[in-house]
Amino acid sequence: MNSIEHNLSVIKQRIATACERSGRDVGDVKLLLATKTVPAERIQTAIELGSNLLGENKVQELKEKAPMLNESELDFNYHFIGHLQSNKIKDVVKYASCIQSVDRLSLAKKLQKRLELEDKTIDVFIQVNTSREESKFGCAPEDTLELVKQVALLDRMNIKGLMTIGLFSANEDEVRPCFQILKKLQQEIHTLNLDNVDPKELSMGMSGDLEIAIEEGATIIRVGTAVFGERQYPDSYYWNEKKPT
């Protein structure tokens, strides 16, 4: 067994255990592989082992790897999970089937324009900054309902879910509320009864906190390190664009 295969089986076991503990069906929790910094050939190995949901943080990496992976003729979907600058929308729309990181109306409006131009539609999630850390992107929880209402008016985007990055803390009692906030927002959006808005997916939980996220209702967990190993750059590089010094 290679290491990716081994790591995937460990993750699947962790998912199964967390589902069992919280009375959930394993079929209701999808595994998204966060593939930042991972070369295309290792990603291909994971796809061959049955992982077909991928997430990329940087447009540049998406643009490089997606065409390489497309050549393999394997079946997979790329979600964009990183901070999206509006001048890079074009490539994301080309290669991603879903953008999980829509966090502001100005970005959504630019996306709408691009999608109109290409006569396309795309699935989106609204990213919420549930930990309120300044270093993280995402819409403030109290602004989320308004953003959802506004994005719902843009007909080229289908709001399919909510996404968050939980607080980085070894203290479970600090992490769990982040996921509870996302779940509560989902319920509040549901009661708004907006046409065509049904954010069924809750994308939350990563290598370190996926069990808590599953207990709180995650339908997509995003895992990188636990499958591909440690990364060279700290995550701050991916989350607030600052190059490590």
Least distance from ligand PLP to the Cβ atom of residue 151, Å:
19
Stretch that binds ligand PLP, among 66-74, 90-98, 128-136, 202-210 (CB under 6 A): 202-210
Q: Cβ of residue 166: shortest distance to ligand PLP, in angstroms?
A: 10
Radius of gyration of the chain measured on its C-alpha atoms? 17
Candidates 76, 80, 125, 238; binder of ligand PLP (CB under 6 A) is 238
Instruction: Note whether 99 binds ligand PLP by CB under 6 A.
Output: no
Residue nearest to ligand PLP (CB): 224
- How many CB atoms are located within 10 Å of the residue 121 CB? 12
Residue among 122 and 152 whose Cβ is closer to ligand PLP: 122
Say if residue 25 is exposed, middle or buried (CB neighbours under 10 Å; 0-12, 13-18, 19+).
exposed
DSSP 242: P
DSSP 8-state symbol, 92:
H
- CB 191, min distance to ligand PLP, A: 28
Phi, psi at 141, each rounded to 5° = -50, -40
Q: What DSSP letter does each residue of 106-170 carry, written as one string?
A: HHHHHHHHHHHHHT--EEEEEEB-TT--TTS-SB-GGGHHHHHHHHHT-TTEEEEEEE------S
Nearer Cβ to ligand PLP (51/154)? 51
Residues in the interface with ligand PLP (CB under 6 A) total 15
CA distances from 55 to 52, 63, 209 (A): 10, 12, 17
Name residues contacting ligand PLP, limited to 46-85 (CB under 6 A). 57, 81
Is 206 among the residues that bind ligand PLP (CB under 6 A)? Answer: yes
Cβ-based nearer residue to ligand PLP, 201 or 235: 235
Taking CB under 6 A as the rule, does residue 165 contact ligand PLP? yes
Residue 221's beta-bridge partner residues? 31
Query: Tokens in use for 114?
Result: 């691009």
Residue with smaller CB distance to ligand PLP, 30 or 113: 30
By CB under 6 A, is residue 219 in contact with ligand PLP? no
CB 127 within 8 A of CB 101: yes
Q: Which of 45, 72, 112, 225 binds ligand PLP (CB under 6 A)?
A: 225
Candidates 141, 166, 199, 224; binder of ligand PLP (CB under 6 A) is: 224
Q: Using CB under 6 A as the criterion, which residues of the chain lie in contact with ligand PLP when the complex forms?
A: 34, 36, 57, 81, 165, 206-208, 222-226, 235, 238
